[in-house]
Amino acid sequence: MRRVAVTGLGVVSALGVGREAHVAGLREGRCGVGQLSIANVDRLSVTIGAPASGFVGEERFGKSELALLDRTTQLALTAAAEAVAQSGLEVDEALAPRAGVAIGTALTGMETVDANYRAVYEEKKNRVHPFVVPRLMTNAGASQISMAHGLTGPAWTVSTACSSSNHAIGQAFHLIRSGGADVMLAGGAEAPLVFGVIKAWEGLRVMSKDGCRPFCETRNGMVQGEGAAVLVLEEWDRAARRGAPILAELAGFSMTADAGDIVTPSAEGAARAIRGALLDARLAPEDVGYINAHGTATAANDRTECAAIRSAFGAAAETVSVSSTKSMHGHCLGGAGAVEMAAVVLALSEGVIAPTVGLVRQDPACDLDVTPITARERRVDAALSNSFAFGGLNAVLAARRA
Q: What is the mean pLDDT of each run of 10 residues along the chain (402 residues)?
A: 97 98 98 97 98 97 97 98 98 98 97 96 95 97 98 98 98 98 98 97 97 98 98 98 98 98 97 98 98 98 98 98 98 98 98 97 98 98 98 98 97
Write phi, then psi, for 96 (nearest 5 degrees): -50, -45
Q: Which of 215, 241, 267 is the last residue of a domain?
A: 241
334 and 234 share one domain: no
Torsion angle in degrees (nearest 10) through CA of 257, 258, 259, 260: -160
The span from the CA of 234 to the CA of 248, in Å, is: 11
Residue 310 located in a structural domain? yes
Q: Residue 358: what are its φ and ψ, rounded to 5°? A: 80, 0
Instruction: Tell me if residue 351 falls in helix, strand or coil.
Output: coil
- Give domain status of residue 304, yes or no: yes
On whether residue 247 sits in a domain, the answer given is: no
pLDDT computed for residue 103 by the predictor:
98
Same domain, 208 and 294: no
**Where does 223-286 show beta strands of DSSP type E?**
227-235, 248-257
Last residue of a domain, one of 212, 241, 270: 241
| Residue 322 within any structural domain of the chain | yes
- Active-site choice (329, 331, 332, 366): 331
The Cα–Cα gap between 378 and 371 comes to 11
**Catalytic residue of the set 31, 162, 216, 366:** 162
Is the same domain home to 232 and 270? no
Per-residue pLDDT, 329 = 98
Task: Say if residue 302 is in the same domain as residue 189.
Answer: no
Angle between helices 164-178 and 336-350 (to 10 degrees): 60
197 with 149, same domain?
A: yes
CATH number assigned to the domain comprising residue 305? 3.40.47.10
Judge if 259 and 235 occupy the same domain.
no
Q: Provide the domain count of the chain.
A: 2
- β-strand pairing of 352-353 with 227-235: unpaired
Q: How far is 143 from 137, CA to CA, in rounded Å? A: 10
Which residues pair with residue 185 across a beta bridge?
Answer: 101, 232
Of 294, 306, 332, 366, the catalytic one is: 294
**Domain hosting residue 359, numbered range:** 252-400
Please indicate, yes or no, whether residues 36 and 83 belong to a single structural domain of this protein. Answer: yes
CA 303 to chain CA mean position, Å? 21
**Per-residue confidence (pLDDT) for residue 46, from 0 to 100:** 98
Is the residue at 246 inside a domain? Answer: no
Give helix 336-350 / helix 19-28 axis angle, nearest 10°.
70
Catalytic site includes residue 167: no
Q: How far apart are CA 288 and CA 129, in angstroms?
A: 50
31 catalytic per annotation: no
* 38 within some domain: yes
Rounded to whole angstroms, how far apart are CA atoms 8 and 119?
A: 40
Angle (deg, nearest 10), helices 140-149 and 71-87: 40
Residue 182 resides in a domain: yes
Pairing verdict, β 248-257 and 376-377: unpaired
Looking at 189, 215, 241, the residue that finishes a domain is 241
Same domain, 267 and 380: yes
pLDDT at 34: 98
Strand (E) positions, 325-370? Answer: 352-353
User: Which pTM was predicted?
Assistant: 0.98
CA gap 102, 110 in Å, rounded = 20
- Supply the pLDDT for residue 378: 98
Query: Are residue 135 and residue 259 in the same domain, yes or no?
Result: no
Asked if residue 393 and residue 305 are part of one domain, the reply reads yes
Q: Is 220 in the same domain as 275? A: no
Distance, C-alpha 313 to centroid of its chain = 23
- For 304-335, letters b (16+ CB in 10 Å) and e give bbbbbbbbbbeeebeebbbbbbbbbbbbbbbb
The verdict on residue 324 lying in a domain is yes
Q: Are 262 and 221 within one domain? A: no
Closest CA to 338 of 8, 4, 5, 11: 11
* CA–CA distance, 55 with 93 (Å, rounded to integer): 33
CA angle 14/266/191 to nearest 5° reads 20
- How far out from the chain centre does Cα 247 lie? 17
